[in-house]
Chains A and B, each alone.
Chain A
Amino acid sequence: MSSLPINYKLTAFKTIVWKEVRRFLRIWVQTLVPPVITISLYFVIFGNLIGRRIGEMGGYTYMEFIVPGLIMMAVINNSYANVVSSFFSQKYQRSIEELLVSPVPNYVILSGFVLGGVARGLAIGVIATIISLFFSGLHMHNLLITLLVVLMSSIVFSLGGFINAIFANKFDDITIIPTFVLTPLIYLGGVFYSIELLPEFWRLVSQLNPIFYMVNAFRFGILGVSDVNVVFAFAMLVLFTVVLFVFSLFLLHRGKGLRH
């Protein structure tokens, strides 16, 4: 079995990533502006107006408590949305064939799309952090943990978006999962509350939600408080990354929905 020289692969990888970045910058009104407005509203309504009546949570003001969760929510949503919409629209327009007829290996294609999703997720994460500074001071308990968690969460949800796009046959299919699966998991993943507030049964149910671990590990990195063990949360993130990457690669090799 032959293999391409490494410099070919690197060039192809950079080309895919730059194309993805160019895409979300070109349609910035659709990709960058809406999250800014949504996050600002969350900060104003939940953090400022309602939060003042809630008082402290986990030893911090309610505004300080929800900032990490809201940043993570923005990162997750945008990483997922970037890959699912970009890959599906390329599949729909058949412009993905440009890549499929080329010698670019499947793992380079997948990595390129994932890094494109991570780029948008992190860009929105930075914007959300800047907005949060207008409402709350910036805490940083552990920078390394914060960056690792946000990066790995972004990778996991970029892979999720990729798998959604592979299985999608029509535009409805790329909105069903975000609406009926992703959004409930985010809202029930401890963005707005500590699971200490929940009854025992719902506390156990929450622990089945992968986003719960990401939000809490990220909150630990920023505030130093978490409902879960951070090492366990990292282990979950690594597991999700590996499983989803291998499954995505398997789907690409099978040519599911791409080759006849």
Chain B
Amino acid sequence: MTSAISITDLFKTYDNGFQALKGISLEVAEGDFFALLGANGAGKSTTIGVLSTLVRKTSGSVQVFGKNVDTNSYETKLELGVVPQEVNFNHFEKVFDIVVTQGGYYGLPVKLAKERAEKYLKQLGLWDKQNQQARNLSGGMKRRLLIARALVHEPRLLLLDEPTAGVDIELRRSTWEFLQEINRSGTTIILTTHYLEEAETLCRNIAMIDEGEIVVNTNMKDLLKTLHQERFVLDIRSELSSAPDLNGFDCQLVDPAMLEVTLDSDQDLNDVFAELQSLGIQVKSMRNKSNRLEQLFVSLLQKPEQKHEQNPVQKQEQLT
């Protein structure tokens, strides 16, 4: 399959001397829904910036659909749609005009640009706001306007730099559905996000970047399989004064009516219930302690010295 993106030995050092990228190499297949994760300052946005040409690389090679961005900049730019991390449209322009104008920058005749603007504003639930100034939109609507603007020329590759930051859960989920639909129709999507649930839900492949270097680059399912432990919170019907002794399981009493049980990957949840039943403890409800990808993210990007200082639960709380 053709690569949508092919990055080789990409370095970026900013004018102030900060080395944001230290020779990353990355392949993203055409049609993929790809997650690029990392902590703040890890190099995600710099990578997106180099692809969109807003950041000039120091060295290395970047190809979009097999074409070098240095020697074929016009063609590669036509293939790209960019949703930036920061809202960057003119707040005093009307919603419809923002999308139509962007179409004009990509050579779309006015009639076609207007048809596309209507199509994407309707799909993203913004059509009734078409004549409003962009500054009057809510935060979530502004982010969806960025997506509509990026799609007006129907690019083959969509770069999304934290597209749902600050968006409420309902809007976030409807945006996810829209992006999945766009991806199913053939658009390759590269996503950076702080919501790890978002990456786990949407993306098939993933790279994790830390201090300018790729530390993980794999399939999402394979990555999640490497998770050795899973933690569950159980609400129980009776109140206990101490944690019950569950044979072979790590169990802690969070409060008199709440237990926290940790299972290794080779342990079975049925055995936990059997142990609890034998002790006469009835479970009212149960949930995961944390997102699985979040646990991996923490463990993979944790520095060796931090591993000795903090337990995983503390780390997860910091991340969220």
> Which A positions have Cβ atoms within 8 angstroms of B?
1-5, 7-9, 11-12, 14-16, 18-19, 22, 26, 89-90, 93-95, 97-105, 255, 259-260
Contact = CB atoms under 8 A, between A and B. Distances in A.
Secondary structure of the B contact surface, majority rule: loop
Contacts of B55: 259-260
A99 B105 contact: yes
Interface string B73-89: 11101101010101011
B66 interface: no
Interface string B34-74: 00000000000000010011111000000000000001111
B90 interface: yes
Contact of A260 (B14, B72, B108): B14
B291 interface: no
A64 to B, nearest CB: 41
A4 B55 CA distance: 22
Given A2-B75, A94-B88, 18 more contacts: A3-B74, A7-B107, A8-B106, A8-B107, A11-B104, A11-B109, A12-B104, A12-B105, A16-B104, A18-B104, A95-B90, A97-B82, A100-B53, A101-B52, A102-B102, A103-B74, A103-B107, A104-B105
Nearest to B55: A260
Interface residues of B, number: 34
Interface string B164-207: 00000000000000000000000000000000000000000000
Nearest to A8: B107
B97 interface: yes
Contact of A2 (B73, B84, B104): B73
List of 4 A-B pairs having minimum Cβ-Cβ separation, nearest first: A15-B104, A8-B107, A102-B105, A94-B88
A18 B78 CA distance: 22
B73 A103 contact: yes
Contacts of A255: 56
